[in-house]
């Protein structure tokens, strides 16, 4: 009788907050589910509808119904912010997780990022020592912002990343990148520290990882930024709030 080695499966939970993204949501989820993850990884999408309009609610329900085995839909009765939606999704991922080798990654519901980058991000996580998280880096040498808005966005992100690094001791290039990948065991240790309701969650995650002595490495990722007219929601107030969160997390 022949025996085959049993491969232990690890689940990648894709935490996707959604607010009024009816135009891009279906295509984004389709791109995510099209990624062929390396063994032993399997995927589960946790979709959080953060009090969206009727069109987005209908789109999210249709997606969850069609992809019942792969997409779990949660709803906030009213808009609470990206940070609140992420925390809801993270709690659900930990509830569903069956082992500390499972991992979570954050995915925006627009089309700015390419989910095919999951493969490189997971490769870096698998090769890294324990207690390591992986962030995407949009501003690597091969990516030069084309528009004036994109260049301003990059400069603001660099300023916030430098401030974050100075106070956390991390050495990263793109603290604000959406793609943040970590093991569920590390998420479990930092989740009680996460309280920001809006975009301040980004520097708070970095600060919480540093406080928990989780190192962070980076992998270059693709990025196609959109402007305000295309639905971009983050603005100058969020940059000010992010700076406040960085200072508060330190002191």
pLDDT of the residue at 45: 98
Sign of CA dihedral 202, 205, 211, 213: negative
CA distance 13 to 90: 9
Distance CA 214, CA 137 (A): 18
The CB density around residue 78, as the number of other CB atoms within 10 Å, is 6
Distances in whole angstroms, Cα of residue 68 to Cα of each of 71, 99, 142, 165, 188: 6, 22, 38, 41, 26
- pLDDT value at position 227? 57
Q: What is the CATH number of domain 10-250?
A: 3.90.550.10
Residue spans of the domains in the chain: they are 10-250
**How does pLDDT run along the chain (251 residues), one tens digit per residue?**
555 555 689 999 999 999 999 999 999 999 999 999 999 999 999 999 999 999 999 999 999 999 888 999 999 999 999 999 999 999 999 999 998 899 999 999 999 999 999 999 999 999 999 999 999 999 876 555 555 555 666 787 888 899 999 989 999 999 999 999 999 999 999 999 999 999 899 999 999 999 999 999 999 999 988 655 555 556 667 677 777 777 777 66
pLDDT given for residue 151 in this prediction: 65
CA pair distance 54, 179, nearest whole angstrom: 28
Answer yes or no: are the C-beta atoms of 18 and 50 closer than 8 Å: yes
- pTM for this predicted structure: 0.89
| CA distances in angstroms from 206 to 51, 106, 195, 212, 247, listed in the order given | 26, 13, 13, 10, 12
Specify the residue for token string 């979570």.
Answer: 104
| Contact yes or no for 170/164 (Cβ under 8 A) | yes
């Amino acid at each position: 009788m022949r025996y085959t080695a049993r491969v232990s499966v690890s689940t990648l939970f894709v935490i996707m907050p959604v607010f009024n993204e009816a135009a891009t949501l279906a295509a984004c989820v389709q791109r995510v589910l099209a990624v062929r993850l390396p063994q032993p990884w399997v995927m589960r999408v946790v979709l959080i509808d953060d009090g969206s309009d009727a069109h987005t609610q209908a789109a999210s329900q249709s997606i969850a119904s069609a992809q019942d085995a792969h997409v779990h839909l949660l709803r906030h009765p009213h808009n609470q912010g990206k940070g609140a939606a992420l925390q809801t999704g993270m709690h659900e991922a930990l509830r569903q997780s069956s082992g500390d080798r499972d991992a979570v990654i954050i995915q925006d519901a627009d089309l700015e990022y390419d989910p095919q980058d999951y493969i490189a991000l997971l490769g870096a996580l698998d090769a890294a020592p324990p207690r390591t998280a992986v962030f995407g880096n949009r501003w690597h040498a091969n990516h030069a912002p084309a528009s004036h808005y994109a260049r301003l966005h990059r400069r603001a992100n660099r300023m916030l990343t430098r401030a974050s690094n100075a106070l956390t001791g991390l050495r990263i290039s793109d603290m604000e990148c959406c793609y943040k990948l970590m093991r569920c065991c590390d998420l479990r240790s930092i989740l009680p520290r996460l309280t920001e309701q809006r975009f301040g969650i980004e520097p708070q995650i970095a600060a919480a990882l540093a406080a928990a002595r989780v190192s962070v490495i980076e992998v270059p990722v693709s990025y196609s930024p959109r402007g305000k007219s295309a639905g971009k929601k983050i603005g100058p107030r969020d940059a000010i709030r992010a700076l406040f969160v960085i200072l508060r997390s330190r002191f």
